[in-house]
């Protein structure tokens, strides 16, 4: 018959641990002032290596750019949204005209090359974030595409598609 854990089993375990021996080691410490403790910590940090050390990263890895540019484009659009929203709210107080009609009329007066450049400046990061987000979603849901050759192909495809579609949107529409 196999014994099953019960209240009696746990009480025996408690008694057994009380009978075991354990080592007690005292640590030698010395009182330090706050300034001395800070200087000791600074001295220890000077000889402590940065972990992981920045020189171990291979900057030629193609997938390194995809991930960081995904974050950059997200931050750019988030910052732009917050900035424009704040400007739109305070516009009546400072005399700015950020109404849709005013912005559209101002954009219409720009030269064609400037319009195309501005549209490209908005379309490229948006499309990169979109295409790269779809790639990340595909990788997260299928757990596929993590071989280095696949990563490199996907990277080139995303950069190429982003550039072609952004240029088409900016200069053909």
Domain boundaries, the chain: 63-172
Q: What is the pLDDT of residues 36-56, one digit of tens each?
A: 999 999 998 888 877 666 677
Rounding to the nearest 10 degrees, give the CA dihedral for residues 125, 128, 133, 134.
140
Q: What CA–CA distance (Å, rounded) separates 137 from 141? A: 6
Taking 80 as the threshold, does the pLDDT of residue 6 lie above it? Answer: no
The pLDDT of 87-103, averaged and rounded, is 95
| Residue 1 vs residues 4, 7, 79: alpha-carbon distances, Å | 9, 18, 69
**Domain 63-172's class?**
mainly alpha
Helix H or strand E encompassing 140: helix 112-142
d(CA 129, CA 132): 5
pTM for the predicted model, two decimal places: 0.63
């Amino acid at each position: 018959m196999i014994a099953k854990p019960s209240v009696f089993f746990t009480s025996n375990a408690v008694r057994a641990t009380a009978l075991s021996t354990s080592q007690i080691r005292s640590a030698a410490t010395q009182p330090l002032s706050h300034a001395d403790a800070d200087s000791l910590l600074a001295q220890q940090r000077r000889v402590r290596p940065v972990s992981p050390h920045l020189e171990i990263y291979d900057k030629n890895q193609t997938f390194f750019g995809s991930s960081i540019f995904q974050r950059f484009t997200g931050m750019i659009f988030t910052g732009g949204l917050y900035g424009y929203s704040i400007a739109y709210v305070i516009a009546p107080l400072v005399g700015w005209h950020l109404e849709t009609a005013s912005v559209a009329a101002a954009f219409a007066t720009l030269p064609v090359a400037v319009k195309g450049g501005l549209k490209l400046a908005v379309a490229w990061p948006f499309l990169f974030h979109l295409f790269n987000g779809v790639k990340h979603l595909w990788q997260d849901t299928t757990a596929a595409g993590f071989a280095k050759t696949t990563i490199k192909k996907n990277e080139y495809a995303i950069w190429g598609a982003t550039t072609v579609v952004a240029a088409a949107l900016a200069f053909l529409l």
